[in-house]
């Protein structure tokens, strides 16, 4: 028997469980911070061990209640993660999901090349989102910064060690994507291509496989020689 892939969950936080008392306290302290903070700094404020705070922060990111971003590079080594509370206006609202459905239907019905138009729209979105971000010389770091961006806008990505294969566990527009995958997923692929290019890495080999796993879409960020190989995925 073939089990149909259901794909990622709807947008961030739609399946959110009630916060525990301790996690709610961490969120309240995070909201009181005037600038993004590290888990270590917030742990001192909360009076909790840094590992406990980091666990709560990562769960808040998954629930769409917090944003995780890299600190500015300073010296050798990877910059530390910083966290901030997500503003209400940053979360995709139901009205925007409805707007996406209308626009996707319009493109699908009126365009002679709906996928190409969707890729172009996504590329424009990607350039807007990365307009204030500096490109980096390291290819892996560029891929990781794209993953950071996908985290910020609600895709709850999981990645492998080299950030070449990304599982997108949430999608703000998943219901519309099921109806118009060529359009919505084309927009998201275009976003990834343009975002990666703006961050300093060639987008060759970028490919989004919709509903490739039962609980996720797959985004491949392989470039050049990395672009080949087994892609996996569904035949939808």
The pLDDT tens digits for 121-172 are 999 999 998 988 889 999 999 999 999 889 888 888 999 888 899 999 888 7
User: Whole-number mean pLDDT of the chain?
Assistant: 82
The pLDDT tens digits for 209-227 are 999 998 899 999 975 444 4
Identify which of 186, 214, 235 has the alpha carbon closest to the alpha carbon of residue 9: 214
Residue at 142 is within a domain: yes
Q: What is the mean pLDDT of residues 9-26?
A: 70
pLDDT band at 183 (very low <50, low <70, confident <90, very high): very high
* CA 118/CA 97 separation, integer angstroms: 16
Q: How far is CA 139 from CA 9, 26, 111, in A?
A: 29, 34, 35
Residue at 233 is within a domain: no
The per-residue pLDDT for 217 is 93
- Of 89, 113, 132, the residue that ends a domain is 89
Residue at 6 is within a domain: no
Residue at 64 is within a domain: yes
Residue at 232 is within a domain: no
Question: What's 75's domain CATH number?
Answer: 1.10.10.10
Q: Which residues contact 221 (CB under 8 A, 6 or more apart)?
A: 143, 146, 163, 164, 165, 166, 192, 196, 205, 206
The per-residue pLDDT for 15 is 46
In this model, does residue 231 exceed pLDDT 70?
no
Identify which of 98, 228, 81 has the alpha carbon closest to the alpha carbon of residue 175: 98
Q: What is the mean pLDDT of residues 36-44?
A: 95
The per-residue pLDDT for 225 is 41
Residues 101 and 158 in one domain: yes
pLDDT band at 10 (very low <50, low <70, confident <90, very high): low
The per-residue pLDDT for 236 is 34
Looking at the 3D structure of the chain, how many domains does it have?
2
Q: Which residues contact 57 (CB under 8 A, 6 or more apart)?
A: 26, 30, 39, 42, 66, 68, 83
Residues 184 and 214 in one domain: yes
Residue at 236 is within a domain: no
* CA 131/CA 90 separation, integer angstroms: 17
Q: What is the mean pLDDT of residues 93-100?
A: 64
Write out the residue range of the structural domain in which residue 191 sits. Answer: 92-227
* CA 40/CA 38 separation, integer angstroms: 5
Residue 206 and residue 194 in contact, taking contact as beta carbons nearer than 8 Å: no
- Of 41, 69, 89, the residue that ends a domain is 89
Residues 84 and 158 in one domain: no
Residue at 5 is within a domain: no
């Amino acid at each position: 028997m073939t089990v149909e892939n259901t794909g990622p969950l709807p947008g961030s936080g739609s399946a959110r469980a009630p916060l525990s008392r301790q996690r709610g306290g961490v969120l309240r302290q995070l909201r009181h911070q005037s600038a993004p903070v590290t888990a270590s700094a917030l742990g001192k404020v909360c009076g909790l061990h840094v590992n406990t705070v980091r666990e709560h922060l990562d769960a808040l990111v998954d629930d769409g209640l917090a944003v995780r971003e890299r600190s500015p590079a300073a010296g050798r080594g990877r910059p530390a993660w910083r966290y901030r509370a997500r503003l209400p206006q940053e979360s995709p609202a139901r009205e925007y999901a409805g707007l996406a459905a209308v626009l996707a239907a319009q493109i699908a019905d009126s365009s002679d090349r709906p996928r190409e138009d969707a890729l172009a729209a996504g590329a424009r979105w990607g350039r807007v989102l990365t307009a204030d971000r500096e490109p980096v010389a390291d290819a892996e770091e560029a891929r990781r910064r794209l993953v950071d961006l996908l985290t910020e806008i609600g895709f709850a990505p999981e990645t492998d060690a080299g950030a070449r294969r990304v599982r997108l566990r949430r999608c703000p527009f998943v219901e519309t994507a099921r109806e118009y995958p060529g359009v919505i997923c084309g927009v998201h692929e275009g976003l990834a291509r343009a975002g990666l290019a703006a961050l300093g890495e060639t987008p060759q080999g970028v490919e989004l496989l919709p509903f490739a796993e039962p609980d996720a879409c797959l985004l491949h960020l392989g470039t050049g020689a990395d672009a080949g190989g087994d892609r996996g995925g569904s035949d939808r």
